[in-house]
Each structure stands twice: as C-alpha cells, then as structure tokens.
Amino acid sequence: MLRRLYIRDFVIVDRLELEFAGGFGTLTGETGAGKSILVDALSLALGERADSGVVRNGCERAEVGAEFDVPAASPLASWLHANDFDAEAEAMCLLRRVVDSGGRSRAYVNGAPATLAQLREAAEFLADIHGQHAHHSLLRAESQRGLLDAHAGLTALAREVAENYRAWQKLHLACEHAARDAAATARERETLEWQVKELRALAFEPAQWLEDNQEQRRLSHAASLIEGTEAALAALDEGDLAVAPQLEKMLSRLGGLSDYDADLKEPLELLANAQIQLQEAGHALRHYQRKLDLEPQRLAELENRMAAVLALARKHHVTPEELPLQLAQQAARLEELGLLADAAALAEHEARARKTYADAAAKLSKGRNKTAAELSKAVSAAMQQLAMAGGRFEIALEKLEDGAAYGLESVEFLVSANAGQPLRPLAKVASGGELSRIGLAIQVIASQATQVPTLIFDEVDVGIGGRVAEIVGRMLHQLGQSRQVLCVTHLPQVAACADWQWSVAKEEHAGAALSRVTPLDHAARIDELARMLGGVKITETTRKHAAEMLGAK
C-alpha cells in the first residue's frame, strides 16, 4: 500500500511529505484548497502525462515521489526483479517523477531511470484512481467494455484478441489484393528480384566502404605525398641548408661556451631536446616514405568500386551507408510478394490467422459472459442500498456477425432506475444523480475484484447526499477492511465513516497561495465535520451532530 507521498513545488504545494495509514482515509477541506491536487500529484508519480503547468509559479521544477510497500513474492516484486529495479530494501517500491519548467519529464523507479511506460506498468500493481469524471466516462461503449474486461481480469486477453484481429485482417486484405492485382504483383516481384540480385552482387559492407575511402584518398594524392615527404626530409637533414646539421653546429659551439657561463645550460637542454625530436621526425618520415607507392592499378580498382557503390546508392535514393538496409527491406518485400503470388499458401495463412483470432475471442467471450452476470447481480444489489429500490443493472452482450478488434460481441450497460421500468442504455435513462450512484456502485463493486492494494476516489460522491451519502461512506469503509482506500470528499457523512482524516487548507505565504495538509485527531475531526455540516458558522448544535456522526461509525 501507499506509505509516503513527497511533493515539492507542484501547482500550489511548495513542500509536503505525507505518511499514510491503512484502512479508509479521507481528505476534506474547502473547495479550491488543493485536495484534488494531491491526487493529481500521485497520478503524476504513477505515470500520468505532465506539462510545465504543474510546476509552481517561479520554480524551476516540480518533483513527486510515492513510496509503496512490496509484499514478498508478489507480482510487483517479480516485475521489479525482471526489470532490474530491485530496491536495496526489498519491501519497498519508490516511484519518482520530475518535471521542469520547460515541460520535460524524467521518471525513476527505486532510484533508477525509467521510461514513462515502465512507470505505468509498475502503477498497475500499486493503485487505482477513480476520478471525479469517471461516471461520465461510463456512458462510452469503450469505457464499459474496458471496465468489464478489467473486472474480469481479461485486459491482456482483450489486447491479444485485438492484435490477432489486425493480423487476420491484414492477411484477408492481402488475399483480396492478390486476386485483384495479380499482374501488378508479378511486375513488382520481377523488378524486386532484379534489384535484390544487384544489391547482393555488390556485397556492400559499411566498414569496408570506410577503409576504401581512406585508401582511395591516400592513393589519389600519392604523388603529392611523396613530393612533400622528400621536401621535408631535405629540409631536415639532407639538403645544403638542412636544419639538423645547423642545429648540431649550434650545439657544439654553445656547448663550449657554456663552460664560461652556466646560464647557457637551460637553452642547451632545450636545443638538445629539439635535436632528438628532429631525429625522430626524420626516422618517421623515412618509414612513411618507404610505404608510399603510386599504385595506379589499385587506385583504378578502388575508384571503379566506389563509382559502382555511388551509382547504386543514387539509383535507390539512399546514401551508401543505407544500402544494407535497402537490401533488407526489398528482400522482405520480395518474400511478402512471393506469398501473395501463391494464392493457396496465402489462403492457408489467412485461415490460420482467422482461427487464432476466433479461438482467443471465444475465450474472451466466455470470460465476459461469466463476469457480466456476476457484476450485473452485484451492482443491482448495491443500487437497492443507494436509494434506487427496485432498480436493476444488466450488462448486455450482443453477438457480432463477423467479430471486431474488441471481440465477438458488443458490450452495453443497461439500467432500470425504478421498479417496473424496462432496461434501457445507461446513457439514455440515468439522470445526473442516478448516474453518480450507479457509477459509484460499479466502481466500488469492480474494485472489490481487483488485486490492487490502494484505491483512490476523487470526489466520486458528487451528486449524492443524506442517507445515500452515509451508505456510500459505509461501503467505502467496508472496502477499506481489505485494502487501503483514500477518498477526497465534501460530504460529512462519508468523512465520518473514515478510519482517519486529513484536512486540506489554502494559506497565503509571502504573497503566494500554498496548500497545507493537517492530520486530524478526534477533536479536530469533530470540528471539521461540523464545518462541513454547518458552513462558516459552527454552533454547538452542529458540533454535537458531528460528534454523533463520528461516534456512530
């Protein structure tokens, strides 16, 4: 579960470090105090996209760190080990995110750099966040299908079905094109065969190409290199005015004079070193000169080879270094065309792909049907508690004739809000209040099936109140018996059911608005609940009512 959350310079939070307990906890406070900002910060640590707008005004960067427990032998522990993110303390997973004022983001898992995708993978083992607009997303068919699959543990299988469908459809289109465009395919294949043969005959190697270029430059300038080397050797020690003999005479004369003045020893040493350097340069030049040869025949071979490479590169509109990639791509396309030319083989491939899709989709359908019945029954039961007596919820699975990327059936949430009313699509019959209650029931029921240890509800109780709010609070408290539940709420009935409560407030500091979080003891919780009940003016009556609510938990 979530143990610590560290936030620095995030929106209106300057620096905050929170330690979390288990069970059911709530965040309360005035509107705009920053309650949802804490959830946004946690979302950032769990891999949500970010931009420069999350960095507090006037700061260089925002930073968020979230520390979670990692049970031994858990799927998360296995994932951390497989991705080389093992922590020094094996029972901990630290997710960290840094966003600079330019919008650039960096992610870390247990101190090691990580990709955003890896951060999201880790988050799947750690926490689920139900946002305040989650109810409305349930009106979309893809959200309904995704929730059913997630509740049934079928998300990975659904992805596999989609991949199989795309592979099948690609081969299906290929069959159609092969029958329609046989002549064009044959012409393209003939052209490619000749091009692939030409590229393979060239036997181009990037490393050899670099060596050939260097050798060609040397041979093409061999005459100049020979002439320059001879001139340098003449100037050093072979000509009438060569440097080496002059330097030797100079050293001999100054050597005798140094007996009269010791100050000449330093320049003598420098000149002696220079003589050694000149001698070594002369030896190196002679060695280099012996290797030089005009080799016109070798030069012609190289230039012919390079001309052939450049001509073929121009023909394919690539650089010489890209010729191996060009060969690989054209060979792959040629192999593909070979399959297209064989109608029987292509049809066999398509049939296998169709069966692979159908088998996986059938397995997905079986799981959906089982879970749809269970979830329909559970949500219908929850609706009775949420002031929707006689209401029914049902997940309808309608068979698709030819299947689709998402499976062999469409998924639709149907609801009857009152007794005696027929089931109709959720989007068409639910009012705002009903949608809030039905959506909350679905989320709570769905959360009971997940293995994620931490659940965050961000103002998902909007649109309810009174007795229903108290029931929601009890539902969340019950959910907190088996995992950590954190809820941002404006409802005192929900907050009163929590095991622990924090108050979030906004303060002015040096002309800037900053968010502050205060853990509440029993007395402070009574005051906070009284504020939530009575508004600005807190009376003894509201305080007494708050104490009763807290005592009745």
* CATH number, domain containing residue 11: 3.40.50.300
pLDDT for position 552: 65
Tally helices (H) and strands (E) across the chain. 20, 15
**For residue 2, which of 85, 94, 74, 101 has the smallest C-alpha distance?**
94
pLDDT tens profile 441-477 = 777 787 776 678 888 888 766 767 778 888 888 888 9
* Collapsed DSSP state (helix, strand, coil) of residue 21: coil
pLDDT band at 207 (very low <50, low <70, confident <90, very high): confident
> What global pTM score does this model have?
0.61
Domain membership flag for residue 307: no
CA 96/CA 6 separation, integer angstroms: 9
Cα torsion 336, 339, 340, 341 to 10°: value is 120
CA 41/CA 97 separation, integer angstroms: 9
Domain total for the chain?
Answer: 1
CA 208/CA 302 separation, integer angstroms: 11
Query: HSE-up of 378 (CA within 13 Å, CB side)?
Result: 19
pLDDT band at 364 (very low <50, low <70, confident <90, very high): very high
Which of 213 and 21 is assigned the larger pLDDT?
21
Does the pLDDT value for residue 61 go beyond 60? yes
Longest dimension (CA), the chain: 128
CA 24/CA 478 separation, integer angstroms: 8
Q: At residue 483, what is the residue type? A: R
Pairing relationship of beta strands 392-404 and 407-416 according to DSSP bridges: antiparallel
Domain membership flag for residue 172: no
Domain membership flag for residue 232: no
Q: Please list, residue by residue across 294-327, b when 16 or more beta carbons sit within 10 angstroms of its beta carbon and e when fewer do.
A: eeeeebeebeebeeebeebbeebeeebeebeebb
List all residues 6 or more positions away from 176 whose beta carbon is below 8 Å from its beta carbon.
Answer: none
**For residue 195, which of 307, 306, 315, 305 has the smallest C-alpha distance?**
315
> How many other CB atoms are there within 10 angstroms of residue 496's CB atom?
28
Mean pLDDT of the chain, nearest integer = 84
Domain membership flag for residue 81: yes
- What the block records as the tokens of 268 is 């003598």
How many residues does the structure list for the chain? Answer: 553
Domain membership flag for residue 135: no
DSSP H helices in 258-322: 265-291, 296-315
Does the pLDDT value for residue 386 go beyond 90? no
Does the pLDDT value for residue 360 go beyond 90? yes
Domain membership flag for residue 509: yes
Which of 130 and 63 is assigned the larger pLDDT?
63
pLDDT for position 451: 72
- Give the range among 131-135, 173-177, 211-215, 278-282 with minimum mean pLDDT: 131-135
List all residues 6 or more positions away from 143 whose beta carbon is below 8 Å from its beta carbon.
Answer: 137
Does the pLDDT value for residue 434 go beyond 60? yes
Domain membership flag for residue 335: no
pLDDT for position 36: 83
CA distances from 96 to 41, 80, 107, 495 (A): 11, 15, 6, 29
Q: Is 511 left (phi over 0), alpha (psi -120 to 50) or beta?
A: left
List all residues 6 or more positions away from 101 whose beta carbon is below 8 Å from its beta carbon.
Answer: 52, 55, 59, 60, 61
- Give the range among 20-29, 245-254, 332-341 with minimum mean pLDDT: 332-341
Domain membership flag for residue 194: no
Task: For the sheet with 92-100, list strands across it.
Answer: 13-19, 2-10, 61-69, 92-100, 105-109, 112-114
Does the pLDDT value for residue 404 go beyond 90? yes
Average pLDDT over residues 329-342: 76
Facing residues of 28 across strands? 503
Residue 13 is part of which domain span? 1-126+482-520
Which of 284 and 62 is assigned the larger pLDDT?
62
